[in-house]
Structure 1
Amino acid sequence: MKIVVLSDTHLPKRAKSLPTRLIEELVNADLIIHAGDWQTFDVYKELKFYANIVGVYGNVDEDEIKNLFPENRVIEVYGFKIGITHGHGTGKTTERRAIQKFADEKVDCIIFGHSHIPINKYDQGILLFNPGSPTDKRRQEKYSFGVIHIGDSLEAEHIFFTKDSSENNIKGVNKQ
């Protein structure tokens, strides 16, 4: 199973449309996970064209998104439990807040966003995965999103790409 993982799309504030590099992965996705800060309901409407969507809301989302998605959730995919949260709040780092949200749950992976900083690491046996942002890289070198493959194991990777200055669009250049 191929899961495309997004967070912090911030459309239309940070970009006018989904990046080409992201769309290339969405067309073959079995599931899309969005970890909040969609910005508008239009992002959801566009993404649902590609695959089923599981998500949470973030701190800048409009009421339509908040009415459709919870603040935190746990899903199970092929026996793997995945916690999803945006990670906003006060105190601690975004990563620590995300871990704390699922302290009473037995999860294999925690997906979160908010910081726009790509993270792919283990902490006490739990995979922590922040896909970064496909539209607002902030101080990161490249834009990013994630792909998780689930079969006998759960493996996550980031897709990093840069903005092509010859186009008024964000275009993919590499996979890492």
Structure 2
Amino acid sequence: MKIGIVSDTHMPSRGKVIPDALIQGLKDVELILHLGDWTQTEVIRAFEQLAPIDSVAGNNDGEEIIARFGRKKILNLGGFQIGMVHGDGMRKTTEARAWEAFKEEKTDVILFGHSHVPFLMKHEGVILFNPGSPTDKRRQPRYSYGILTLTDTIKAEHFYYDDKS
């Protein structure tokens, strides 16, 4: 199973359209997981044109997005437990907050966003993965998204591009 991982699109303030590089990168995914900060429900509909989606809401999402997706969840995909959370909060790093959100639950992967910083690390046997942002790179050199490939193992990869149009 090939899954697109996206976070922090902040559309339309940080991008008016889904970047072409992201559309091409998600062309053959079976599912898109978005880790929050859509900011507008119209953006959800645009991503649904690419592939089925699931998500969690971020700290910049309104009540409608929170009601639809919630703020934290675990999905069973391909026999793996995939934790999803935006990662916002006070104190600690974003990845530490993401880890703590699932410390009492069994997950194989924890997906999170919020920082806009691509991140990949294995901690106590669990993959922690932040795809970065496809539209708001902040202090990062490039825009980014992720692909999670589930076979008998889990492979998490970042993909980068320079032009968000």
TM-score (norm 1): 0.91
The whole-number CA distance in structure 1 between the counterparts of 2:147 and 2:86 is 17
Q: CA deviation at 1:26?
A: 2.2
The whole-number CA distance in structure 1 between the counterparts of 2:92 and 2:34 is 23
- Gapped regions of structure 1 (runs ≥ 5): 164-169, 172-176
> After superposition, where does 1:17-28 map in structure 2 within 5 Å?
17-28=17-28
Q: CA deviation at 1:92?
A: 1.0
Q: Which runs of 4+ in 1 moved over 3 A?
A: none
Counterpart position of 2:127: 127
Q: CA deviation at 1:29?
A: 1.1
What SS does structure 1 have at the residue aligned with 2:162? Answer: strand
> After superposition, where does 1:3-152 map in structure 2 within 5 Å?
3-152=3-152
RMSD value, Cα: 0.9
What SS does structure 2 have at the residue aligned with 1:128? Answer: strand
Count of aligned pairs: 165
Counterpart position of 1:174: none
Aligned residue identity for 2:116: H
Q: CA deviation at 1:37?
A: 0.4
The whole-number CA distance in structure 2 between the counterparts of 1:30 and 1:50 is 9
What SS does structure 2 have at the residue aligned with 1:152? Answer: coil
The whole-number CA distance in structure 2 between the counterparts of 1:144 and 1:124 is 26
The whole-number CA distance in structure 2 between the counterparts of 1:31 and 1:8 is 17
Identity level (%): 45
- Gapped regions of structure 2 (runs ≥ 5): none
The whole-number CA distance in structure 2 between the counterparts of 1:42 and 1:91 is 32
Q: CA deviation at 1:25?
A: 2.1
